[in-house]
Structures are given as C-alpha cells and as structure tokens.
Amino acid sequence: MNAEMNSIQPVLITIGVALLFIVLLWPKSGLLPRLRKTRQYTERIQIEDTLKHIHSREMEAQQSTLQSIAGVLQTSTNHAGDILAKMEAVVLLNYEEERLIYTPKGERAALHNLRAHRLWERYLADETGFGEAEWHDLAEEREHFLSAEDIDLLSERLGHPTHDPHGDPIPDAAGEYVSHGGKPLPSYESGTRLRIVHVEDEPGMIYAQLVAEGLYPGMQVQIIEKSHERIRFWADGDEHILAPIVAHNLSVIPEPDEKANAAPYSCQTLACLELGEQGVVLGISPACRGAERRRLFDLGVLQGATVQAEYRSPSGDPTAYRIRDALIALRKEQADYIFIEKVPKVSHERA
C-alpha cells in the first residue's frame, strides 16, 4: 500500500502544481493577470478622475491641491502624490509657480472624460428609466470605458446634445463648448425674472433635495423673498423655500426683457384647463423623460397640437383630453408636464 502511494504521490504533486499555475498565472483569466489588470484600471481611473477634478477647479477659478485631489480619490496624500508624479512623467500636468496645471495633452484627456460623462448622463435621462439620483454615479462608472469612437456614436444617437440633463455644457469632439453662463440664484435680488440653466449634482445630498423640489434646467423662477436664513421663490407656478447654501447650487440667468416684463405668473400647463377650454401645446417639460415622454409623443402631444379638456372623473383625476380626434386620459402629474398656451374663448352671442 505504501509503495503504491509512493508511486502516485509525484503525479498528484505535478497535477497540483499545474492547477496552481492555471489558477494563478493563466493568461487573462488567471488570478495574477486579473489583479494586475484591476490595478491598471484603478490607476487609470484615478488619473482620469484627477484630470477631471483639476478641470472642474479651474472652471471655478480655484487651485487644485494635493489635499483636494486626495479627497476626490478618497486616498492618502502619499498615494495622491504618487499619482501626480506618474501624471507629470507622461506629460499630463505640470507645476508652474507652485500651481498645478494640466498640459494640452492633459486638457484633451480631461475634456474627453467630461464629454463621456455628460453624454452618458444625457443618455440615462433620455433613454432609460433610471432616476436623477442615479445618473451621476452610473456615468462615473461608464465614462472610463468609452473610446473616442464610442463617444462619437453616442453623441450622434442622441442628436449631438450641447448640454447634459443638469445644464452642464457637453464638449464637442474638438473640445469646444459653450458655458451656461449662469450665476447662483442668491446672487440676484427679489423680483427679478430668471431661468434655471444649471442644477449642480454634487454633493449628492443637496442635489437630492433639489430633485425632490422638482427643480430642473429650463424652469422660470422669480425670487419673492431673500434673507440670510432662506430664499423664497416661484418656479413655474409653484412656491419653493430653500436655505441659501442649497439655492447656491441653482445657476440662473435673467430672462429677456419681453419675458421679464410679462404678466404675473399664471398656470400654463394642461392640468390648468377647465372643462371645455382649449390650449395649444408649447412643449413637454424636460422633467418628463424616457418611456413616459415617448408615450406622450405617441399619443399626439406634439408642439402646436390643440388640446381640449372634455371629461373629468368624479374624483377630479384623471381628466380626458381630446387631441387629434382622440380622447386620452391623463393624471394631473402627467398633465402638469405639458406646457400650453390657452386658446381664448369665442363668444357666440349676437351683438
């Protein structure tokens, strides 16, 4: 028995070594090649995130520091220093007058990532059912794995959008973009007619509050009251109250004179039509996205279409609207997405 075991033992050892080799070193799928690949991905992602951080700080006229980069990468300052040294070695950034700046090569890489991130957010908003709070994190994951060709195809599929769903400009293939030009809402005095052009999506906690308030780029706003404790304002007919630090994450621009001097706010959505009243569709709110937006288009809710409120359920919701000779029932929250201009009633009484 012992002699038989002694003869089998070398074979078992050989098989064991072979299996260990396969598990550890097999090309691509072995443990060590996978760990090496993960490390390379992690380092590349950290470099790309660092470039994006430097670009973001420059747009805010602020300097990037070792500490701010370590904070973004959620790592130690020692490791952040290693990353910066590697970036300097491949000519992605330089130090000038003790200031950290990126090179032309680094700027191109930063804009590539920025374009990927914002196009992917646009895709998530327009083509999927993911909620606003999920767009940023999902885009953060995806942006690092899109080639220049992938980004061009995505841009073409989306109709070459110029801004992401938060209002941030999307660089084109040449790296050119137009800033939204907005200033923080608290910068303006009470009474000014304004329009939201950007909703900052970081930090996530403040963004979640703005989303919960139903605020999005394109809304017309007017400050009613401003103090150190709060800012009270109208936004498309609804009143909102925010702490100044939260309102600071809303960027706005003044409305043109003809809109700034318009009549006081009145309800301008389909939900405001009384039975028998008609309205002409001006557009669908950007807050209505994905499958729900496509369904409204399929039902004929298109710019210029005439809609009439005809029936209302005993509970008051939903309401049946006639559009293009068909009746469609919409809940109030759906009708609130549809901007209209009321058609004046025509009197049939004889003079």
- The tokens for 351 are 């003079």
Contacts of 95 (CB under 8 A, 6+ apart): 88, 101
Report the SS3 class of residue 193.
strand
DSSP 145: G
Residue 351 is predicted with a pLDDT of 41
Digit-coded pLDDT (tens) for 130-186: 888 888 888 988 888 889 999 999 999 998 999 998 989 999 988 888 888 899 999
Residue 52 is predicted with a pLDDT of 87
Splitting the chain (351 residues) into consecutive groups of 10 residues, what average pLDDT does each group show?
69 78 66 60 84 85 87 86 90 85 90 93 86 86 88 93 90 88 91 90 87 86 90 85 94 77 63 88 79 84 88 87 88 86 67 41
Whole-angstrom Cα distance, residue 192 to residue 103? Answer: 41
Whole-angstrom Cα distance, residue 329 to residue 34? Answer: 55
Torsion (CA) 186, 189, 191, 197 in degrees, nearest 10: -40
Element spanning 94, H or E: strand 93-96
Whole-angstrom Cα distance, residue 247 to residue 252? Answer: 10
Residue 127's φ and ψ, nearest 5 degrees, are: -115, -5
pTM of this prediction?
A: 0.67
Whole-angstrom Cα distance, residue 238 to residue 222? Answer: 10
Contacts of 36 (CB under 8 A, 6+ apart): none
Whole-angstrom Cα distance, residue 271 to residue 309? Answer: 9
Contacts of 251 (CB under 8 A, 6+ apart): 167, 180, 182, 183, 184, 185, 196, 197, 198, 199, 200
Helix 104-127 vs helix 290-298: angle between axes, to the nearest 10 degrees? 60
Whether the Cβ atoms of residue 218 and residue 196 lie closer than 8 Å to each other? yes
Long-range contacts of 122-131 (CB under 8 A, 24+ apart): 122/158, 122/161, 122/164, 122/165, 122/170, 123/154, 123/157, 123/158, 125/164, 125/165, 125/289, 125/290, 126/158, 126/165, 126/289, 126/290, 126/293, 127/158, 127/290, 128/290, 129/290, 129/291
Report the SS3 class of residue 284.
strand
Element spanning 282, H or E: strand 278-284
Digit-coded pLDDT (tens) for 110-122: 999 999 999 999 9
Whether the Cβ atoms of residue 286 and residue 219 lie closer than 8 Å to each other? no
Among 323, 329, 167, 315, residue whose Cα is nearest residue 252:
167
Whole-angstrom Cα distance, residue 336 to residue 322? Answer: 16
Residue 145 is predicted with a pLDDT of 86
Residue 31 is predicted with a pLDDT of 67
Does residue 203 have a cis peptide bond before it, meaning omega lies within 30 degrees of 0? Answer: yes
Among 268, 267, 281, residue whose Cα is nearest residue 322:
281
Locus of tokens 């498309």: 236
Whole-angstrom Cα distance, residue 241 to residue 213? Answer: 9
